[in-house]
Structure 1
Amino acid sequence: MQVLTPTAQEYRRRICLAMNYISAHLDADLSLDDIARHAAFSPFHFHRIFKAVTGETVAEFTRRLRLETAANQLLTQRRQPITAIAHACGFSSSQNMAKAFRLHFGRTPTAYRNSKIGNISSNPEDALAAAVDYSSRNQPMRSDMKADIQTLPDYDVAFVRKLGPYGKEICEAAFGELMAWAGPKGLLGRETMLGVYWDNPEVTPPEKCRTDACLTVPAGFPRERPMSFQRIPGGPHAVCHFEIGPDGFGKAWEDAFAWFVAGGYECADRPCFERYGASPEHNGGLWSLDICIPLKQKV
């Protein structure tokens, strides 16, 4: 595990603040000064530090995130006009988004929307039928999956963020670093662990996907540096519970979203997360976890 100096840890903490601020304000005309100020950086060196930590300039990260958010909305909000999606993602017009979208994805927004819905089908009715019929495939939906709609609380968490392909290596690195910090604080075994996945790996390049290893902290817990802290919004979520082995995570996510699509739910523009219960050493070799998908609230 790479050991970061205190200064490097502090830089990473503040860059996470900047990334989260950009994610929450994609529809705004953010200036470099605004973002730097929110992350407590001097604007003079901020853009260089941001690129050193993330591998992208602030402008590149913002543009990519806007385009990937638009791509996800094209697939999940199929009745939403493209112009409305363009404005919601910070583009001045649908024409400007279309030009940038084609350069990034190699096709127009309309062609992208018509090409697929997630990784299932190009037709929403076909997609729903496919999800409903999921249990009749060669790899049926887990009979032991328990799924319902729950109103979750806000989670105040300490977190460690890693960039890279979703999977065991990234998760172990992030949670290893988090637990090394949390153990001496007496938090392990008392608080809830969450894994937050910000990006859609079918849209975002694997090396750019963001994983947050999170641990809830008690009310009033000091926000001591260089650890990063954030609030994960609660509200209505589709919650799918699984008891799985270490190789069952991918299938669990497929089953959770098949149930989600079959129910006709609409995902909010916030990251999904895993909420962990008993670990394998205390649960007969199985992970106990919930996959939590935020739902768009009806106005």
Structure 2
Amino acid sequence: MLNKELINKSIDFILQHLEDDISVDDVANHFYFSKFYFCRSFKAMTGESVYEFIKRMKLDQSAVEIKLEKEKPITNIGINYGYSSSNYSTAFQKHHNISPAKFRKSVDVTGMTSPFYPEGLSGFDTFEGYNSKIKMQELPDFFVIYERIIGNYIELKDNWFQFLDQYSDHIKVDTLMIERFYDDPAITSLNRCLCDICMTTDESCTLKNVTLVKGGKFAVYCFDGKIEDIFCTIQGIFSVWLPKSDYEMDGRCGLNIYREINKESGCVIMDICIPIR
């Protein structure tokens, strides 16, 4: 069986080529993997076949584009991910249980239900409210220890506490805790959310699970509150602020950089960082 680091590299390669006509053979050949052992190892680690993972990520990421780029024709978005106009609508409907056109209308909202508060609707702030708290910043690259999580978004807090306990010997005064998200939990199934939980470390670190998180230009929103309220704050920024701003997301992943974490109260101070151009 291939080890976790190699499977993570294959996931990175897939994510970098979602807009290409990428196949299982392409990934296996790129890394000189045996296709049989690669497919077997991938499913054992992720719970999905390579083909299922590629298809799901294409349909989930295309939905993110429909949500954020409200003026971009849906047909063009589907074509970017390798679908014809008719095939895309059918595949989207089957995966998301809604047509692309109806999905676009459904995300033009002023609030949404949070997985942490399923009994009620959490309202969004106004564009002006978000805009007043957002600053443009150039962030450096971060060399980090990381664990890749594919699972339930609601359990992310528990994953974090396990991660902090496991790597407690690497925590220093200036260590930053960083989340790197690859999808939108409001779109992706809660049990399939893909996220890296990270802590900054020295480049001399000899652990195998280290990587470089790319910096660059980000729109940074300072959040101060309960962990359970992070979800709707991020959704509001993406649903209200970003479409009305003069910025677009680029190909990098969004980052959550934690400045303070209080385990007892469940409150955090963090920077919600959206990669922009």
Interval containing the TM-score (normalised by the shorter chain):
0.7 to 0.9
Secondary structure at the counterpart of residue 277 of structure 1: strand
1:108 aligns with 2:99: yes
Counterpart AA for 2:166: A
Distance 2:181 2:269 in 1: 18
The 1:75/1:245 distance shift into structure 2, 3 A limit, reads closer
Q: Who is 1:125 aligned against?
A: none
Which residue number corresponds to residue 118 of structure 2? Answer: none
Structure 2 length-normalised TM: 0.80
Look up the SS of the partner of 1:171 in the other structure. Answer: helix
Identity over the aligned pairs, expressed in percent? 29
* Inter-partner Cα distance in structure 2 for 1:51 and 1:15: 10
Aligned to 1:233: 214
Is the 8 Å Cα contact of residues 160 and 175 (structure 1) preserved in structure 2? no
Q: Which amino acid aligns with 1:275?
A: I
SS in 2 for 1:14: helix
Question: Deviation digits for residues 243-296 of structure 1, max 9, x if unmatched?
Answer: 2244443354355444445535333344322101133379x985221011111x
Partner of 1:62: 54
Instruction: State the 1:15 CA deviation.
Output: 1.8
Deviations 1:12-63 (A, max 9, x none): 2222221121111012232324323555643221111111111111111101
Q: Secondary structure at the match of 2:95?
A: helix
Residue by residue over 1:59-91, the C-alpha shift from the partner in whole angstroms, topping out at 9 and shown as x without a partner, is 111011111111111121122233331232233
Alignment correspondent of 2:120: none
Classify the secondary structure of the residue corresponding to 1:215: strand
Give the equivalent residue in structure 1 for 2:117: none
CA contact (8 A) 2:124 2:232 kept: no
Q: 2:5 matched to which residue of 1?
A: 13
TM-score, normalised relative to structure 1: 0.75
The C-alpha deviation readout for 1:90-137, integer Å capped at 9, x for no partner, is 33x223322312222234323332x2235449xxxxxxxx967478xx
* Alignment-derived partner of residue 138 in structure 1: none
Structure 2 unaligned spans of 5+: 112-122
Match for residue 165 of structure 1 among 149, 152, 156: 152
Letter in 2 for 1:224: L
The answer for the alignment partner of 1:117 in structure 2 is 107
Q: Secondary structure at the match of 2:185?
A: coil
Task: Please state whether the residue corresponding to 1:191 is helix, strand or coil.
Answer: coil
- Note the C-alpha offset of 1:178: 5.3
- 1:52 alignment partner, one of 23, 44, 51: 44
Aligned to 1:127: none
Pair 290,132 (structure 1): closer, same or farther in 2 beyond 3 Å: closer
Give the letter for the 2:163 counterpart: E
- CA–CA distance in 1 between the matches of 2:232 and 2:97? 29
Aligned-partner SS, 1:190: coil
CA distance 1:221–1:201, change in 2 (3 Å): same
Matched, 1:244 2:225: yes
Q: What is the rounded CA distance, in whole Å, between the counterparts of 2:160 and 2:28 in structure 1?
A: 25
| CA 286–55 in structure 1, closer or farther in 2 if over 3 Å, else same | closer
Q: Describe how 1:56-95 pairs up with structure 2 within 5 A.
A: 56-91=48-83, 93-95=84-86
CA distance in 2, matches of 1:112, 1:193: 34
- The one-letter code of the counterpart of 2:147 is V
The alignment's C-alpha RMSD in Å is 3.2
Question: Does 2:183 align with 1:199?
Answer: yes
* 1:147 equivalent in alignment to 2:137: no
- Give the secondary structure class of the aligned counterpart of 2:198: strand
Matched, 1:292 2:273: yes
Name the CA shift for 1:179/1:82 in 2 (closer, same or farther; >3 Å). same
Question: Within 5 A, what are the aligned runs for 1:246-265?
Answer: 246-254=227-235, 256-257=237-238, 258-265=240-247
> Is residue 43 from structure 1 mapped to residue 35 from structure 2 by the alignment?
yes
Whole-angstrom distance in 1 between the partners of 2:205 and 2:28: 24
